Amino acid sequence: METTLIILKPDAVQRGLMGRIITRFEEKGLQIVGCKLMQISGDLAATHYGAHKDKPFYKGLVAFMTSSPVLVLAIRGNGAITIARNMMGATFGSKANPGTIRGDFGVSNSFNLIHGSDSPDAAERELGLFFGKGEVLPWNRGGDNWIYDMSGGKVE
C-alpha cells in the first residue's frame, strides 16, 4: 500500500470540481486518509516547487498556487501513485486524454487542476510538507476485501 499527495489546485477549487475529483479517486477504490482546505504560503509553494526554481514558469506557478485555497489530500491504495497519475492525465489539459481528470475538465496549459506525487520518495517528502504528525489517518475500510483480492494473503 502506498500513500500519495494530491493537491486540487486553485482552478479546481474555484471551479467547484473538488467533489467530482474526489469521487473519481474513491470510485477507483483509493482511500482518502488525509484532507484539508488550505491557503498555501509563498514559502511553502517555493519549497514544494523548489526543483523548478530556475525554470521560466516557476514564478507564475508559485503565484498561481498561492492565489486561492487548495484542497490537499493524502490518498492510499495499492499502487496509489501510478494509479493517481494515470487518472490525472497528461500535464497539459489540451493534450490529456478524455476520461482523465485533466482531459475531462481542463483545456489550459497553465491551469492544470491537480498535482500528484510522481514517486514514493516525492510522496513522502510532499506529504511531510503539507501534513503534520497525526493528520494522515490510515484506517481500515470494511469494503477493502471487495476492492483488493487478498485471498493469497497479500493485496493484489
Catalytic residue annotation: 115
The answer to whether 2 touches 79, Cβ cutoff 8 Å, is yes
Check: CB of residue 3 under 8 Å from CB of residue 80: yes
Helix (H) or strand (E) holding 4: strand 2-8
Alpha-carbon dihedral of residues 82, 87, 93, 95, nearest 10 degrees? 70
Three-state secondary structure call for residue 116: strand
Q: Which residue has the cell 504528525?
A: 133
Of 132, 154, 138, 131, the closest CA to residue 72 belongs to: 131
